[in-house]
Structure 1
Amino acid sequence: MPLTFTLDPSVDRALRDGILDLWADVTDAGGAVGFVAPASREAIRPELVKQFVAMAEGRSRLLVGRDEAGRVAATAFLTLNRDALSAHWLWLYTVMVHPRHQGKGYGRELLAAAADAARGLGGIEALRLSCRGGQGLERFYASCGYKEVGRIPGATRVAPDDDRDEVIMLMPLT
């Protein structure tokens, strides 16, 4: 059953808790979403608050996918550029699908919904995201229409003696 996506949902306790649970579960399953397992909700909360502040300031938009039970199952933050010279593209951050839903095509649905949402904003010509190297994410994003446009070797240290590349990917919307 497909997810139901909402752009700019009302932020309430249930949504906040659902995103915190999702973020912790994705991290603990090995997902590359800013933390290393194990990640507590308390460790993640400040980062989520930063995203909510960016939303309140109009710098970011939240896309949420809910499963058939109404649970938060996927997210992406569409973050606008403050620089007028880069206003024609935006970043996708915290792109997540709950581990219980992986392998069902929901990642592709999430990325397609993000592209549709970006097109609906007007004037957005491309989406950019970065992903952690060494996990095969580049191949997944490439299969969804993204192209690698940059790589910063060893930019992410997930553990002592375990540095990963940051891979920058772009997808034109036009």
Structure 2
Amino acid sequence: MADDIDPEGFVSGPHRVDTPHPDLAEALADLWGRVTVAGGPIGFTPTSTVDELRAVATDLVEEVRARRIQLITIGQQHVLVGMAVLRPDPLPARRHTGELGWLAVDPQLQGKGWGGRLHDAVLVAAQAVGLEKLSAQARSGHDLEGFYTARDWVERGRWPGAVRVAEGDERDDIWFTRDV
């Protein structure tokens, strides 16, 4: 699939996925694999198997079907090239809050503003469902701090060494919040 991506080509979206396509879990796993191989902080390690990625993607698609989360995507020529998740908090005392998660853009399209567009689409979706506050987590070592703080997120804390990318390669887990 990576061969089908044109870094200068037309990208459609962001779009909210209301009815998951039958191949969505496979497309998510493929995107996550491309991001992981390029060193991206999507939650997997270089030794994660395709089956592990596919299992997590299948679970995510089921959450979309059950309407527990909103999935926002961008695509190019029937290839998933970016995604983000909005997860509203289901607890009664926290129904005004949610989480931005799984923000990922294909390595060939990074640096072209697509991460920012996905981010902004999640904010619009959060407003539409009445959320007032969001949280997000990021891994240190990729200047994601700059990405989030440039978009009005406030760093609230770090958990040193909480993310183990590989033996001897541990990163901080960084927690951010922002008002919607």
* TM-score relative to the length of structure 2: 0.87
Cα deviation for residue 2 of structure 1 reads 5.4
1:157 correspondence with 2:164: yes
**Partner of 1:72 in structure 2?**
80
Match of 1:5, SS state, is: strand
Map 1:5-84; keep pairs closer than 5 Å: 5-67=14-76, 69-84=77-92
Match of 2:23, SS state, is: helix
1:171 correspondence with 2:178: yes
Q: Give the Cα–Cα distance (whole angstroms) in 2 for the partners of residues 54 and 157 of structure 1.
A: 26
1:145 correspondence with 2:149: no
**Partner of 2:98 in structure 1?**
90
Aligned residues: percent identity?
Answer: 29
Cα deviation for residue 40 of structure 1 reads 3.6
Code of the residue aligned with 2:103 in structure 1: it is V
Cα deviation for residue 38 of structure 1 reads 4.7
Unaligned runs of 5+ in 1: none
* TM-score relative to the length of structure 1: 0.89
Code of the residue aligned with 1:17 in structure 2: it is E
Cα deviation for residue 47 of structure 1 reads 1.0
Measured on the aligned residues, the alpha-carbon RMSD in Å equals: 1.7
Contact 1:28 1:39 in 2 (8 A): no
Q: Give the Cα–Cα distance (whole angstroms) in 1 for the partners of residues 71 and 91 of structure 2.
A: 20
Cα pair distance change 1:129/1:79, threshold 3 Å: same
Q: Give the Cα–Cα distance (whole angstroms) in 1 for the partners of residues 90 and 24 of structure 2.
A: 26
Contact 1:2 1:106 in 2 (8 A): no
Q: Give the Cα–Cα distance (whole angstroms) in 2 for the partners of residues 126 and 153 of structure 1.
A: 25
Contact 2:88 2:97 in 1 (8 A): yes
Which of 101-110 and 149-158 deviates more?
Answer: 149-158
Q: Give the Cα–Cα distance (whole angstroms) in 2 for the partners of residues 59 and 41 of structure 1.
A: 25
Q: Give the Cα–Cα distance (whole angstroms) in 2 for the partners of residues 30 and 15 of structure 1.
A: 23
Match of 1:158, SS state, is: strand
Cα deviation for residue 51 of structure 1 reads 1.4
Code of the residue aligned with 1:66 in structure 2: it is G
Unaligned runs of 5+ in 2: 1-9
Query: What is the aligned length?
Result: 171
Q: Give the Cα–Cα distance (whole angstroms) in 1 for the partners of residues 27 and 111 of structure 2.
A: 20
Code of the residue aligned with 1:127 in structure 2: it is L
